[in-house]
Amino acid sequence: MGDTPPILRDDTKFASGKIAIFQYAAVALFLYLISGFWLLQVRDPEYYSEQADRNRIKSLPILAPRGKILDRDGRVVVDNHAAFTLILSRENLKESHLYPIAQGLDLDYERLQRRLASFRSRARYEPIIVKDELTPGELAFVEAHRDPDTFPEMELIPSFRRLYPDNGVGAHLIGYVGEISESELNLAEFARYNQGDVIGKAGLERQYNDILMGVDGQRRVVVDNRGRHREVIAMKPAVPGKSLQITLDLDLQVVAELAMENRKGAVVALDPRNGEVLALVSTPAYDPNKFAGRIRSDDWRLLLNNPDVPLLNRAIQAQLAPGSTIKPFIALAALETGAIDDSFRVYCNGGATFYGRYFKCHVRGGHGMVDLHKGITQSCDVFFYHVGNRTGIDAIARYAREAGFGSKTGIDLTSEAEGVVPSSEWKMRNFRQRWHAGETISVAIGQGALTVTPLQLAYAFGGLAMGGVWHRPHLVRDPNRQERPRFAQINPANAAKVVAGLYGVVNEGGTGVRAHLPGISVCGKTGTAQLASNELLRSSTLGQTLKDNAWFVGFAPCESPEIVVAALYESGEHGNVAAPIVRDVIKAYFDKKARQSQARMLAEARRAVPQVGPVRP
C-alpha cells in the first residue's frame, strides 16, 4: 500500500529528463551568447563595427570619363557622352528579383546570373554594373521599381559612354573599349585593374589605356533600414583620363576610307620625314560604338563568323605576297652588291627558262630590250628574273630586311605582324631543307614565300625615298620623343636610279599612269600578286574567290617626299586599279596643304594692312 504506483514513477523520471535537457540547452545558449559577446567586444571589435557601418553606409562609384582622342589638327575623333549606368547593390540583392529585373531591362537572364556568380568571391559592398547605357524606357522601368518595397538593389549612377565616329571611320587604329575579361586580369599590363573595369581592348584604346583611363571616385551615403538615401557623408571626385592627340589627319583618313568603300584591303599613309601616320585604313571595318557598352552576343557572333574578317587590321596584320612592289628593292640589292650595273640589259620575249622551268612575263609578247629604268617602269618580270638570279636569295634577304621587311616596324599598335623574308638560313631553320636556286626566281617578282604587310611597304618605300633613312611609324605625338631614325648604308646614287624608275612608272607611260597628278611629281610602283597559279584558277571554281591582289605604293614629291601611301586592294586583279586609291589620298594631302598656305597668306596680309580708324573732325 505504501509503494509508489508504477505509472507515477515513470512520470517523475520523464519530467526529470526533460528538466536536464532544458538545463543543458540553457547552458549551451548562455555559452553561445558569451562567445558572441567576446567576439564582438574583445577579439574583433573593429571588424564587426565596420560591418555594422556598412549596414547604414553605402559606397557608390563615381565613374571617370576616358580621355578624348584628337587628330593632328585638334579635332575630336573619339569623345564621350553622358549616360546612366545601372548597378545592383549586393547588400540588398534578392535572387528572386533577378528574373523580373532581366525582363524589364532586356537582359539575358542566364548571363546576368553568371555575372552575379563571378562576383561572389568579392566583398559584398562592391556593386555590380549590369547595364552601361539605359534607354528612356529602361530608365522609366528603373525609376518605377527601385523603391525599397520592390527592387531596392537597383541603383542609377551617372556615367560616360564612348562615342566613336560614324560608319566605322578609323575603327582599326582607334580600337574599342570593353569590360576586362578573366584572362586579361591575369596579364601584367592590366595588373592594377579589377573585375568590372572597362578597358581598351584594341587599337589606340588599348595601347594607351593607362593614359586614357581615368580614376573612379566614390560617394558614401547614409541609408536607412529600407535602403533609402538619407545623407552624403563623403565624396571622392573622379579623375578624368588624359586626352590623346594623334598624328592622324582626319581629312586624309576619310578620303582613304571613301576610296576603299565596298573593297577589301588596306591603305596606309605616312610622313617619311618623321614616321607620323597620316591615315590607316582597313576594310571591311566594324562599328566600335557597338562595343562602347557591352556588345550583344548576336553582334559579336556576326563579327566572328563574317568570312571577310572585319576584326582583322589588314594594315598591320595582313601578310601577303607583295608582287611587283618588291622589285625596287630587288634592284637596289643588285646594284649594291654589284650583281648588275648601268650596262646590264635583258631581252624579254615574253618569258625565260631557269633551272628547267619556264617563267612567263606579264606581257605576253614581251618588252624587247630592257635596262634597269625600263625594267622598273614597265615592271618587266623577265628582267627581274635575271636580276634576282644574279643577286641570290641571301643578298636579297639582307637588303629586304634592311628596308624593314620581315620584322615589325614598331608602330604603337598591338598585334603587328612580321611578314616573311625567305633565305637559305630561314628555310633550313623552318623546314630543314636547302634553298633551291629556282625558288629565287619567284621571290624576285614578289611571289613565293615572301610576305609583307601594307604598313611595311609604306615604311620601306618611305626610307627608300629618303635615300636610306627610316623613321619608325607612330600614331601619337610626343614632344619629348627623341627617337633617332635608322640609317642604311646604301649608295645614294643607286637609290636615285631606283627612284628615277619609280618616277617613270607614273609619269613616263609606265604601269602606274593612273596615279599621275598634274603639277605634282608622283613616284610609285604597281604590284599584282597571285594567290594561286593561273592554271589552277582556270581549271577550278577557285577563280572567282582567289583573284590576284592589287598593290600600289606611291610618294610625292619625288625630289623631297612629304607623303608615302601604300594601298592593298584584295582580289583587285591588277596593280593599276590600286593606283587611283593612292592618287586620291596624295591629292587630298596637297589640296589641303594649298588651302592652309592660302589661309596663312591671307591672314598675314590682313595683319600687314594698317587699321584705319574713324576720321575725326
pLDDT tens digits, one per residue of 599-611: 999 888 888 876 6
Residues 201, 145 share a domain: yes
Catalytic residue among 324, 379, 423, 442: 324
Rounded Cα distance between 111 and 597, Å, is 57
* Number of residues written out for the chain: 617
Q: Per residue in 275-324, pLDDT tens? A: 999 999 999 999 999 988 778 888 889 999 999 999 999 999 999 999 99
Question: Which residue, of 188, 212, 245, is where some domain finishes?
Answer: 245
Residues 171, 97 share a domain: yes
Residue 526 belongs to domain with CATH number: 3.40.710.10
pTM score of the predicted model = 0.85
- CB neighbours (10 Å) of residue 183? 8
In a domain, 327, yes or no: yes
Q: Per residue in 144-173, pLDDT tens? A: 887 777 888 888 888 899 999 999 999 999
In the numeric block, which cell numbers belong to residue 231? 545623407
Instruction: Report the side by side order of strands in the sheet with 563-569.
Output: 276-283, 265-271, 563-569, 549-556, 523-529
Residues 585, 450 share a domain: yes
* 393 class by beta-carbon count within 10 Å (0-12 exposed, 13-18 middle, 19+ buried): buried
Residues 180, 93 share a domain: yes
Cβ atoms of residues 559 and 534 within 8 Å: no
Q: Per residue in 21-74, pLDDT tens? A: 777 777 777 777 777 655 555 555 555 555 554 456 777 788 899 999 999 999
Cβ atoms of residues 516 and 506 within 8 Å: yes
In a domain, 139, yes or no: yes
Residues 262, 227 share a domain: no
Type of residue at 495: A
In a domain, 4, yes or no: no
Question: Which residue, of 245, 267, 301, is where some domain finishes?
Answer: 245
DSSP, res 243: P
In a domain, 12, yes or no: no
Residues 351, 236 share a domain: no
Cβ atoms of residues 324 and 350 within 8 Å: no
Residues 258, 241 share a domain: no
Q: Per residue in 460-508, pLDDT tens? A: 999 999 999 999 999 997 777 667 899 998 999 999 999 999 999 999 9
At 3 the pLDDT is 57
Rounded Cα distance between 595 and 606, Å, is 17
Residue 147 belongs to domain with CATH number: 3.90.1310.10
Residues 432, 389 share a domain: yes
What are residue 161's DSSP bridge partners?
A: 81
In a domain, 573, yes or no: yes
Rounded Cα distance between 222 and 602, Å, is 62
Instruction: Indicate if the pLDDT at residue 92 is higher than 80.
Output: no
In a domain, 18, yes or no: no
* Among 353, 378, 355, 354, CA closest to 366: 378
Specify whether 121 is catalytic. no
Residues 206, 264 share a domain: no
In a domain, 610, yes or no: no
Q: Per residue in 287-296, pLDDT tens? A: 999 988 778 8
Residues 581, 505 share a domain: yes
Residues 74, 199 share a domain: yes
Tell me the helix, strand and coil percentages in the chain, rounded to 5.
40, 20, 40
Range of 217's domain? 58-245
Question: Which residue, of 229, 245, 261, is where some domain finishes?
Answer: 245
In the numeric block, which cell numbers belong to residue 176? 574599342
Specify the number of domains making up the chain. 2
In a domain, 34, yes or no: no
- CB neighbours (10 Å) of residue 424? 17
Type of residue at 117: A
Rounded Cα distance between 68 and 408, Å, is 28
Residues 109, 235 share a domain: yes
